[in-house]
A = this chain, B = another copy of it.
Amino acid sequence: MPGLMPWKPLFPLFLVLFSVVAQAGDPSDLVDPFVGTLNMGHTYPGATVPFGGVQLSPDTRRLAMFDDQGQYVREVYRYCAGYQYEDSTITGFSHTHFSGTGHSDLGDISLMPVRGAVNLDDPATWQAGFYHENEEAYPGYYAARLEEPACDVELTATTRTGLHRYTYFSGNQGRGRAGVVLDLTANIYDYEGKNVWTFLRVENDTLVTGYRTTSGWARTRTVYFALAFDRPVVDYRIKRLDKTPYNGFYRRFDQENNFPEGAGRQVRAAFFFDLPEEGKLQAKVGLSGVSCAGALANLEAEAPGWDFDGAHRAARQAWNTELDKIQAKFMNNDQASVFYTALYHSMLSPVVYQDVDGSYRGLDQNIHQAEGFTNYTIFSLWDTYRALHPLFNLIQPERNGDMVASMLAHQRQSVHGMLPIWSHHANENWCMIGYHGVPVIADALAKGVPLGGGFTAGDALQACVETARVPYFDGVGEMVKLGYVPDEVSGSSASITLELAYDDWCITEMARSLGRDGVAAEFEARSRNFENIFDPRIGFMRPRDRDGAWRPDFDVMATHGQGFIEGNAWNYSLYVPQDVPRLVELMGGGEKFSAHLDSLFTMQIDDEHIAHTEDITRDGIIGNYVHGNEPGHHIPYLYNWAGRPDRTQERVREIMGSMYGTGPAGLCGNDDAGQMSAWYIFSALGFYPVCPGSAWYALGSPLVSEARVDLGQGKALEVVVHDQGPQNIYVKRVVLNGKEVKGVVVNHADLAAGGKLEFFMGCALKNVSGPGAEG
């Protein structure tokens, strides 16, 4: 690895002007939860705590997944998080939301304040208009004024509960009795039949319990709840919308009015109250994946009284504590806001998925006890193995050790014996390719992060090996024989071959470190499979059929239908994080490789080439490089191995400046459960985990002026950027713990020991020619 050129600061005085101390108040003040709520960021503005199991947020439209003709409604993709900033109507406040995902589900247990009679058959009778000027959101808090009924809504949350405070204008006077609709039919990404079953009990005049099972993206998912009000319900209705033929159960009851139980496929309820003049009503909801009793216990443990303000303060304090783990200064407040919003978004998943007593529903649908770890869910691993979990290994090692434990428990509960692929709420939805739980685990081990739950490195390796040996998963069986996944097996055969080669390299490294030579040899061979699909005649990775023939009529630009998934050959051909030097060699050496990367960033991709890939939008593209989706996130850093770290520095700074911004449109694509944000955080600190599972980070160009990264256990990494400035994007010299860094990477151990990483910046272009990587 080449050392960077020595360099002297040119404009130290000028730069001081930009080194605004970003943290005048709470770091929470720098966070804007609306970032990403417009277009395809797929974030939600509602209230949640760090890694909180409840995400209480407004939903702004009800969209069926299929139209009257049974056609998929592409518009629903925009509503993955339930909320779109351009909408002016709120349909309800539900308690579960994905943050930034590329697919949707959830939207459970929707509440909505109402006035007077509502028609429970018709959601239009309770959805309400609102204006953004009457709306605000901070970490752990959301508020909006509903126009009709005139009502202020405030939301906050704990890990397992959501708290609502409603203020109905003019108290109990006029416009009918104040009420709350509980809509158990409301779903994000709805379709006829998504609701499998709902169950409801009015336990007493202030407590309602129940659950609902849905079959959506998660095939079998049950959310149990306990809903409490701070005033007695004086009148209520329960409406079952589905008509099941047998109706005898209720033949002797008026089942709709003040009858304390209801169940069916589609159930809604409305509760009414006599309010005092000031019109205040509070509601709180505990959730559980285990049982109604668990939901109630969670509610009683985390929100025992009616102290909304106290809960809000606690939520904010929890956010401040987490956000303070990186104390960074920036050149301007917008950068600080983007950074801290990214840091906020990086802690919205995975989320805690267990009751306060440690019990949780496992993948096998049985109830398990989390012994020695906290169980987490929402693993969007194709996205998050890249930078999010590596970020956790820096600033959330204990949580990440528990997330690994959660994945290992999942693997033991899996009938396939597989680690999660894309898992949420005790389900595997199999979204995207690879078994990227493996690099998450390998990265934790490589970085010495202790695993939760008493799992050993040997347990972890075993889980990875079992996962990687499932022959019917994505063509693995044929891949083992042929050295690649053949085109006939999967429409993503080339992507799969590439990503599994990387995952298998992670297994190799783990096995080697544990002295498991046989396993290491088995997977090392597999880790080189990328070479088998590189077509040297065209210089791209390319699908092959079972006979070894290259795919004919191959379009290297199209992001769909060419053997790759959510990316084209241009981007995916650069996916060999485990052996960048070999990739450079295959591509003809550093100079050609560098020129190739230049082409990627400067050529144009046509609309038709991205038309069939929801996750790729114009907003997230530079030339033909796609930052708005994951498979290329390491690409800007690859210039380092072509002897052009300056180009890496340019592109990284360009991407930070153009692909991330303030305001609702601040994200260039799905935040992808925090991966997009984690890319920003690493890059802003000046380094990036190009190859998770290894202990090295590639160097980039920091955006911070200085930063203190709390590594836990009293250790901190200091990042000091000398001569930072908008034009000073080039890194002249890097000094780690007083010692000049030779090459383009730094080692985790050197940072994690509590080091000081100094960047010396400059604006002068220099022609760096250096050797490839020894990463």
Contact = CB atoms under 8 A, between A and B. Distances in A.
Interface string A243-260: 011101111111000111
A244 B211 contact: no
A592 interface: no
Interface in A224-262: 244-246, 248-254, 258-261
A292 interface: yes
A65 B245 contact: yes
A367 B291 contact: yes
A66 B490 CA distance: 44
A191 B292 CA distance: 29
Given A245-B65, A415-B203, A415-B261, A197 B211 contact: no
A263 B192 contact: no
Given A203-B415, A211-B365, A430-B252, A217 B197 contact: no
Given A220-B263, A263-B220, A292-B365, A474 B246 contact: no
A172 interface: no
A245 B192 contact: yes
A199 B264 CA distance: 19
A220 B245 contact: no
A66 B243 CA distance: 14
Contacts of A193: 244-245
A215 interface: yes
A202 B254 CA distance: 44
A218 to B, nearest CB: 9
A416 interface: yes
Contacts of A174: none
B244 A415 contact: no
Contacts of A261: 415-416
Contacts of A431: 248
Contacts of A197: 196-197, 213, 215, 220
B252 A216 contact: no
Interface in A13-36: none
Contact of A219 (B249, B254, B258): B249
A474 B415 contact: no
A259 B418 CA distance: 14
Contacts of A66: 245
Contact of A364 (B201, B219, B472, B474): B201
A70 interface: yes
A673 to B, nearest CB: 18
Contact of A365 (B199, B219, B253): B199
Interface in A439-466: none
B263 A219 contact: yes
B196 A429 contact: no
Nearest to A245: B191
Contact of A415 (B65, B202, B250): B202
Contacts of A473: 252
Give the oligomeric copy count: 2
B191 A246 contact: yes
Interface residues of A, number: 53
A245 B66 CA distance: 8
A370 to B, nearest CB: 15
Contacts of A199: 220, 365
Q: A217, A259, A265, A365 — which one has the most chain B CB atoms within 10 A of its CB?
A: A365
A366 interface: yes
Interface in A243-294: 244-246, 248-254, 258-261, 263-265, 291-293
Interface string A619-658: 0000000000000000000000000000000000000000
A246 B472 contact: no
A246 B292 contact: no
A292 B366 contact: yes
Contacts of A196: 196-197, 265
Contact of A65 (B65, B246, B263): B246
Contacts of A245: 65-66, 70, 191-193
Nearest to A258: B472
Given A191-B245, A245-B70, A472-B259, A490 B252 contact: yes
Contact of A366 (B217, B259, B291): B291
Nearest to A202: B415
Interface string A196-216: 110101110000010101011
Contacts of A293: 364, 366-367
A209 B362 CA distance: 14
Interface string A517-548: 00000000000000000000000000000000
Contacts of A292: 364-366
Nearest to A260: B415
A215 B264 CA distance: 8
Contacts of A429: 248-249
Q: A244, A253, A292 — which one has the most chain B CB atoms within 10 A of its CB?
A: A244
A259 B415 CA distance: 10
B192 A260 contact: no
A659 to B, nearest CB: 28
A137 to B, nearest CB: 31
A610 to B, nearest CB: 20
Nearest to A197: B196
A212 to B, nearest CB: 12
A203 B366 CA distance: 13
Interface string A366-393: 1100000000000000000000000000
A248 B202 CA distance: 37
Contacts of A367: 291, 293, 367
Interface string A284-322: 000000011100000000000000000000000000000
Given A293-B364, A367-B367, 12 more contacts: A65-B245, A70-B245, A197-B220, A209-B364, A219-B249, A248-B430, A249-B430, A250-B430, A252-B473, A261-B415, A292-B366, A293-B367
Task: Please provide the 6 A-B residue pairs with the shortest distance between their CB atoms, ordered closest to farther.
Answer: A293-B366, A201-B415, A260-B415, A291-B366, A191-B245, A196-B197
20 contacts: A65-B245, A65-B246, A196-B197, A196-B265, A197-B197, A202-B415, A215-B263, A216-B246, A217-B246, A219-B263, A220-B263, A251-B430, A252-B430, A252-B473, A252-B474, A252-B490, A253-B430, A259-B472, A293-B366, A367-B367
